[in-house]
Amino acid sequence: MSEHSPTKRKTAIYREGIIVAITLAVLTIVEYYAAITPPFDSFAILMILALLKAILVVNYFMHIRSVWSEDEH
């Protein structure tokens, strides 16, 4: 089976969703503990963590690149 076979590609897409979901969960837990652990409870740190989560969602779940991309995602 070649490296880019449809089966492998499908598996990779499913795996990507799981990895993103786990990363979001980890970032949420980090966010929660940062908020109760001075000096990590600052506005800047919590907003950076929120921005990281937002980038993941916009990029992988909302497929923002498909707006200007010629290819189907």
Interface contacts to another protein, rule CB under 8 A: 10, 13-14, 17-18, 20-21, 24-25, 28, 31-32, 34-35, 41, 43, 46-47, 49-50, 53-54, 57-58, 60-64, 66-67, 72
Cβ neighbours of residue 50 under 8 Å, at least 6 residues apart? 31
In the bound complex, what is the minimum distance in angstroms from residue 58's beta carbon to another protein?
7
In the bound complex, what is the minimum distance in angstroms from residue 10's beta carbon to another protein?
5
CB neighbours (10 Å) of residue 46?
16
Amino acid at 61: F
